[in-house]
């Protein structure tokens, strides 16, 4: 069964710290992986998309890496700010079911001023 796991469910860090969010998936034959941000009561904002052939993608203070062999992706946030407080979700698609996209349960991030 193809599954996506995000641990921890919640994380609180002081402003200015660099931090890493984790996304683990079963079945390493993924098609791609996408990271989203969701503010309370709002919709999803796409952050980064990594194709299976890529090792990482960067956008501003965000860097997402992909290690298919270990079934893991990490989202690195540099110099965290209170405005980064949100829930971060990862979504995975696999070659065996290329149109089926499964989400992790998310990590709720709180940045303390």
Partner 1 sequence: NAGVTQTPKFQVLKTGQSMTLQCAQDMNHNSMYWYRQDPGMGLRLIYYSASEGTTDKGEVPNGYNVSRLNKREFSLRLESAAPSQTSVYFCASRNSNTGELFFGEGSRLTVL
Q: How far apart are CA 107 and CA 4, in angstroms?
A: 12
Beta-carbon-side half-sphere exposure of residue 64 (alpha carbons within 13 Å): 26
Q: Which is nearer to partner 1, 51 or 70 (CB)?
A: 51
Q: What's the angle, vertex CA 11, arms to CA 8 and CA 16, rounded to 5?
A: 135
In the block, residue with structure tokens 């193809």: 2
Q: Which is nearer to partner 1, 15 or 74 (CB)?
A: 74
Nearest approach, Cβ of residue 16 and partner 1 (Å): 27
| Contact letters for partner 1, residues 16-55 (x by CB under 8 A) | ---------------xx-x--------xx-x--x-x----
Q: Which of 64, 93, 109, 111 is in the footprint of partner 1 by CB under 8 A?
A: 93
Within the chain, where are the H helices? none
90 neighbors 34 (Cβ within 8 angstroms): yes
Q: Which is nearer to partner 1, 15 or 31 (CB)?
A: 31
Nearest approach, Cβ of residue 60 and partner 1 (Å): 18
């Amino acid at each position: 069964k193809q599954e996506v796991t995000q641990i921890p469910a919640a994380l609180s860090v002081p402003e200015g710290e660099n931090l890493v969010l984790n996304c683990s998936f079963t079945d390493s034959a993924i098609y791609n992986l996408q990271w989203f941000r969701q503010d309370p009561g709002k919709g999803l904002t796409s952050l980064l998309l990594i194709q299976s052939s890529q090792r990482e993608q960067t956008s501003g203070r965000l860097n997402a890496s992909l290690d298919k062999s270990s079934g893991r992706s990490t989202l690195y946030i540099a110099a965290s700010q209170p405005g980064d407080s949100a829930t971060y979700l990862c979504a995975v698609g696999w070659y065996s079911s290329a149109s089926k996209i499964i989400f992790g349960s998310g990590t709720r991030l709180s940045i303390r001023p």
